[in-house]
Amino acid sequence: MRMRHWVIGLTLVGVLASGTLFDASLVSASKHLQPKAPLQMEKKATAPFKVKVKGFEASATGSKAGDTVTLKLTIEYSGGSGTKSVPWRIWRDSGQGEKEIARGQKEVTAGATGTFTATATWTATAGSHVFYGGIPIPEIPDNVSTRTTMVFTAPKVAAPPAPRLVTQVLDYQKAKLAGATFASASDNASGGGQCNWQSCDMFQAPQAQPGVFFFASVAGAFGTKVTPEAYGNFTLKNSWKIKAVQLVEIKKSGGDWQWRVRPSEGSNNPFTRIHLWADMPLGDVQLGLKIVIEGPEGTDPYK
């Protein structure tokens, strides 16, 4: 039998080969009314908690031992959830010379990316030092940052103030007690030589004062030649120096004198040798040697 169909309104009606009618719209609707499976929401995985050193700074108030060094370690964290405790450590040098400066830990709220800065100070010691800051967890990559070497010099110690200098006249007897030698070296023992100017019996040592009295005078039928020495084998002690050499001609008649060894200003050696002679019939030469010395107050030039 030949199939026929009609359109009635919006409903499609057909005749099956068996003569049975069916409503196509109901069939179509029934397909749409079938229940769907419930929607499944995808669960996003939480990123792991990570930390790393973001920066490390070292600054100093100066370059000398005793100055203050400030060290700042910045740590970045991200991921994870909840509250995390992040350890940190700052130290200097390495190997056997390693010294810890500071350590601690910071409680942070995980999740979003954030940073915190740990600060420590250190009083510099002389020498070259390398500073480190890091996270003391070996499993964490990039957990150490190094600061360029810093060098600190030892502070200069102020020189003590210069001592006050004082002067005095070199004393014959004190020098002799300290080991100085004196010699007359005369070709006529009674006609010339040297002695302590303050206590010499020869002519009552005119104008007596601390120092050495040198003399040459005619004795008997011959003239006199003498080359006396003073302050042999002796030097001034405790930074004392000769400031002035004063030779006084007390008397010079029928004779004369010459320096053979004159002590020098600025030296610590007062050794003296003078040649004198007195001629017939009444030659007489008398000299007084005064050596002014200078040195630190409160010290002894003799020992």
pLDDT digits (tens, 9 = 90+) for 205-226: 567 788 999 999 886 667 889 9
Give a yes or no: residue 82 inside a domain: yes
pLDDT digits (tens, 9 = 90+) for 40-86: 555 566 788 899 999 999 999 988 999 999 999 999 999 988 999 99
User: CATH number for the domain including 121?
Assistant: 2.60.40.10
Listed residues 152, 175, 196: the one ending a domain: 152
Give a yes or no: residue 109 inside a domain: yes
> Are 103 and 136 in a shared domain?
yes
pLDDT of residue 116: 95
Alpha-carbon distances, residue 214 vs 73, 81, 237, 245 (angstroms): 84, 107, 25, 15
Q: For residues 271-287, give the mean pLDDT.
A: 92
Give 149's pLDDT tier (boundaries 50, 70, 90).
Answer: confident
Cα gap 172→182, rounded to integer Å: 9
Looking at the predicted structure, is the pLDDT value of residue 269 above 60? yes
Listed residues 119, 152, 185: the one ending a domain: 152
pLDDT of residue 230: 97
> Are 258 and 171 in a shared domain?
yes
φ, ψ of residue 16 to 5 degrees: the values are -70, 165
> Are 144 and 188 in a shared domain?
no
> Are 171 and 222 in a shared domain?
yes
Listed residues 131, 152, 173: the one ending a domain: 152
Looking at the predicted structure, is the pLDDT value of residue 160 above 90? no
- Which candidate, 201, 198, 217, 227, places its Cα nearest to that of 288? 198
> Are 148 and 169 in a shared domain?
no
pLDDT digits (tens, 9 = 90+) for 86-129: 999 999 988 888 899 999 999 999 888 999 999 999 999 999 99
Give a yes or no: residue 255 inside a domain: yes
Of 192-206, 229-243, 252-266, least confident by mean pLDDT is 192-206
pLDDT of residue 4: 44
Pick the more confident residue, 109 or 14: 109
Give a yes or no: residue 282 inside a domain: yes
> Are 205 and 105 in a shared domain?
no
> Are 146 and 250 in a shared domain?
no
Of 153-157, 171-175, 194-198, 232-236, least confident by mean pLDDT is 153-157
Range of the domain at 178: 165-296
Total domains in the chain come to 2
pLDDT of residue 121: 96
pLDDT digits (tens, 9 = 90+) for 99-108: 999 999 999 9
Give a yes or no: residue 24 inside a domain: no
Of 153-157, 244-248, 252-256, 297-301, least confident by mean pLDDT is 153-157
pLDDT digits (tens, 9 = 90+) for 129-140: 999 998 988 776
> Are 270 and 208 in a shared domain?
yes
